[in-house]
Chain A
């Protein structure tokens, strides 16, 4: 049975993912301060996740509403962090 799914260049996406993974391993050797290195690593992770979501999961070619389904839990994840961090992370020693 065939569908009208658009199939992008999956191999290309896979190569990008591998590259990004190696890059995030290399960040540790760049001599950056811990917070900056962490931010960079998570940025790379975010790009990887976006690639998987947009191309492997086809969100790039689906209706926007489908991506919207994911936004709600992500927003709630942010809310949890926003409340739990002041609760548990104190700047005092």
Chain B
């Protein structure tokens, strides 16, 4: 059995000049996600411009619930970056608390989204009702899938932190945070695009 020595695993290029691999990898992934949502959102914007009647459809949405969800996500971005700070400073126990808040807020977001959908579907607005609704359900649905994935990732980190096993992978709270902030930023634009205009 060959075990490499530490000498053999010597760092190559000067580390200070290069971003940590996990961080670089996450940013590259986010770039691909930007153009994914970009494609969907560009399609929506263009179709919306082409169909002035859609503004009347969006009036059926609950701006209040959308706004609450926006506040929920913004606060969850705050809580996950606080968890990141806790990994550096106060330690895994505090990080676990902030991660718990993040996961809970994520679940609240999904619940509110579910409540909205139920209401809209009940009122007879299905994905097949019209172009606006096709985009509404698809965009918020794709976003909700991303939120769900984020909740799972954050949940795993939370479990590791709670079990005292976060230390070897503590940096990953930062990377998970990057993904979570991205999901938040997408909603920052989806909210006005769908609800406010």
Contact = CB atoms under 8 A, between A and B. Distances in A.
Interface stretch (B68-76, B106-114, B115-123, B157-165): B68-76
A84 interface: yes
Contacts of A56: 77-78, 81, 177, 181
For the complex, would chain A's binding face be called helix, strand, loop or mixed by DSSP majority? helix
Interface in B148-186: 167, 170-171, 174, 177-178, 181-182, 184-185
Interface in A40-93: 41-42, 44-45, 48-49, 52-53, 56-57, 62-63, 66, 69-70, 72-74, 76-77, 80-81, 84-85, 87-90
Q: Which range holds the interface residue count of chain B?
A: 35 or more
B14 to A, nearest CB: 13
B125 interface: no
20 contacts: A1-B167, A3-B174, A7-B85, A10-B78, A27-B196, A42-B192, A45-B191, A45-B192, A48-B74, A49-B188, A56-B78, A56-B81, A56-B177, A70-B31, A73-B32, A77-B39, A85-B46, A85-B49, A88-B46, A88-B49
Interface of A: 1-3, 5, 7, 10-11, 13-14, 17-18, 21, 24-25, 27-28, 34, 37-38, 41-42, 44-45, 48-49, 52-53, 56-57, 62-63, 66, 69-70, 72-74, 76-77, 80-81, 84-85, 87-90
Given A69-B27, A89-B50, 18 more contacts: A10-B78, A18-B71, A21-B67, A25-B196, A45-B191, A45-B192, A52-B184, A56-B77, A56-B78, A66-B19, A70-B30, A74-B34, A76-B38, A77-B41, A80-B38, A84-B43, A85-B46, A88-B49
